[in-house]
Structure 1
């Protein structure tokens, strides 16, 4: 794959596969299908060399949560509404990386039904996930999520407080709350 940006690789993969197959493959990865079933698309979704013997093929070196994350990242760059249910479910992933990537997808594409899952991640132990939660709620949140975002204004991490302040402004404007 060389030194090409992953975004470019993902867009090219989507063009090669077509929207139906691309979305199906990303969803399958996000839902936890085995890496062996997707070796043909993983170089495009990751930018890594997936040849025999490469560390990325070893589940002990590259845990399965990376596959779910890469599936979600594909959807971040090339969105299709048919992936909505998988992204909503991905917000509840047991690992923070796929959940955080699903927050990014929700924020980037205003994914329906992700508000409650994004709100649930507002108390995550990692500041970067809490900040991503606030950014997602700025886009997908509703009035019932304003209190969750407001609670992040007192977060111990400055980046979370900044994200929450911007999210509250955007929520108030978007929901016409004045």
Structure 2
């Protein structure tokens, strides 16, 4: 996405410490443009092997990215996809949409959850995937799915939200109640 066969542009030096992702992505966008920064994130999100995008992994992940690339034991490879998806909360290009929607089915729940958040922020049509994730084992994923359904869901997703109103987890029930209100307003139910 970042340019096909052309090599990616050199990245700026990563600031010291633990900069907020918003600041990292602003720095990156200032260096390669917002479309270029979104392209780098989308390329990493789509990648099966983060080693193919080592510079981006190091920029987004810092010391954790270095650990991921060197030993892969303390930081699993799927973390690179989480960092890439999180980057798309701060920089965007519509060409990244299909990758985000595809990764809603990622085997790593953190990747799928972050892609739900990006889908909501970018108003991507994620209703069917959010309905599937509404049945996830982890309450935090179910709550994120409920929020996504409130924003992106359609009339066929109302039943999934209603099931979440009976969830054993209070945070999920709260998110589902808000989602139901949003759906009712958006869809005039």
User: Normalising by structure 2, what TM-score?
Assistant: 0.84
Preserved CA contact (<8 Å) 1:149 1:168: yes
Preserved CA contact (<8 Å) 2:116 2:144: yes
The CA distance in 1 between the partners of 2:63 and 2:104, in whole Å, is 28
Counterparts of residues 108-127 of structure 1 (less than 5 Å): 108-111=121-124, 113-127=125-139
How much does 1:79 deviate? 2.2
Structure 1 vs Structure 2 CA RMSD: 1.7
How much does 1:55 deviate? 2.3
Worse overlay, 70-79 or 90-99: 70-79
Q: Secondary structure at the match of 1:154?
A: coil
CA pair 3-69 structure 1, distance change in 2 beyond 3 A: closer
Residue among 85, 95, 101 paired with 2:108: 95
The CA distance in 2 between the partners of 1:173 and 1:12, in whole Å, is 38
Residue 79 of structure 1: aligned partner: 92
2:145 aligned with 1:133? yes
Residue 63 of structure 1: aligned partner: 76
Residue 26 of structure 1: aligned partner: 41
Preserved CA contact (<8 Å) 2:64 2:75: no
Preserved CA contact (<8 Å) 1:6 1:44: no
The CA distance in 1 between the partners of 2:168 and 2:153, in whole Å, is 22
Residue among 25, 29, 46 paired with 1:14: 29
Residue 172 of structure 1: aligned partner: 184
The CA distance in 1 between the partners of 2:53 and 2:64, in whole Å, is 10
The CA distance in 2 between the partners of 1:155 and 1:68, in whole Å, is 29
Long gaps (5+) in structure 2: 1-14
Long gaps (5+) in structure 1: none
1:24-70 deviation per Cα after TM superposition (whole angstroms, max 9, x unaligned): 21112111243333232334423x2378xx42332222111101111
Preserved CA contact (<8 Å) 1:106 1:114: yes
2:163 aligned with 1:163? no
How much does 1:78 deviate? 1.3
1:62-111 deviation per Cα after TM superposition (whole angstroms, max 9, x unaligned): 11110111111111121221111111111100110100000111111211
How much does 1:125 deviate? 0.1
Preserved CA contact (<8 Å) 2:21 2:87: no
User: Normalising by structure 1, what TM-score?
Assistant: 0.89
Q: How many residues align?
A: 173
